[in-house]
A = this chain, B = another copy of it.
Amino acid sequence: MIAVDVGGTTIKGAVVSRDGEFVHELSRATPCEHGSEAVTAELLAVISELREREPAAAAVGVVVPGAVDPVNGIARFSANLGFRDVPLRDLVTAATGLPALLDHDVRAAGVAERTVGVTAGVSDYLLAVIGTGIAGVLDSGGQNIRGASGIAGELGHVPVWPDGDLCPCGQRGCLERYASAASVSRRYAELSGRTLSAVDVVARCADDATAAQVWREATEALAIAFATCTMLLDPAMIVLGGGLSEAGEALLAPVRGELAERVVWREPPPVRLSGLGARAGRVGAAVLAWRLLGVEEFGSWERWSAEQ
């Protein structure tokens, strides 16, 4: 099984076994600056290279950000990748001769979490996918909350400080403006003049007051949004996923502490780390691709249900 997660920074591919093991992995920079056709060509090159390593691969699952039509396999719109009505699924099948599917990256992360991750068997939860941006997967009563127009879960644009920083989306004080990996890096650069990745900012917190301040505001913003979600949705669990979740305890401890300060008349829900990290999109793509082939049993994928 070939699974590919096309992100704004990298195209991440993997060959995933029937037991959920990442047998081969491969990443390429996403050539966003060269437009939609270059991105599509690089995606097909990644798939081709993975197939050389695993000629027996039987299907391809691809996930992308933005607006996606999974039924027709079309990438409707993605600002970063330049996609506008690109029939990616059929392009993959034409290039490989294999059955393929296209889905949304965050929806796929939700599929991964509830099928083989820490929320397997949990009916009510919030999964916060914290990467370049921030998105949410909300399940209630065992059903995914999709919304009237299919765009529920925009956790990154919840106004945590309603008169706060202007977001490129046009709104003020959006969670994403403080707590995404991109914003942690940007805010640190604005204050210190140095450009570091979010992970490097987190690593400097003990010795660098500016790093500590940026990270404290990021985790505080997350806790405010989670307090709001707790009031509205009463989840049994909040799960931290996406690339920034690989910060581990440095993320978990302050978020738990701040949430306990802000949810006081009821028990705050437990906050856990996803076991999937930056692989969530590909695990979801692989689960969906195996399902495409009729597989419905994923009991042997328990490696993904352990916290990082």
Contacts and interface: CB of A to CB of B under 8 A. Distances in A.
Contact of A234 (B148, B227, B264): B148
A79 to B, nearest CB: 11
Contact of A159 (B146, B154, B224): B224
A153 interface: yes
Q: By CB atoms of chain B within 10 A, which of A123, A161, A232, A269 has the most? A: A232
Contact of A145 (B141, B154, B159): B141
A264 B123 contact: no
Given A224-B162, A265-B171, A148 B236 contact: yes
B160 A231 contact: no
A148 B269 contact: yes
Contact of A124 (B148, B153, B155, B269): B148
A170 B136 contact: no
A265 B231 contact: no
A145 B227 contact: no
Interface string A128-171: 00000000101011010111111111110111111000000111
A197 interface: no
Contacts of A150: 234
A264 B151 contact: no
B266 A152 contact: no
Contact of A152 (B148, B149, B232, B262): B232
Contacts of A138: 232-233
B169 A140 contact: no
Q: By CB atoms of chain B within 10 A, which of A147, A159, A264 has the most? A: A147
A292 to B, nearest CB: 24
B136 A146 contact: no
A228 interface: yes
Contact of A233 (B123, B145, B169, B171): B145
A13 interface: no
A229 interface: yes
A182 interface: no
In the complex, the 4 A-B pairs of residues with the closest C-beta atoms, listed nearest first = A147-B234, A148-B236, A170-B264, A124-B148
9 contacts: A155-B231, A159-B227, A159-B262, A160-B162, A169-B264, A170-B264, A171-B264, A171-B265, A172-B262
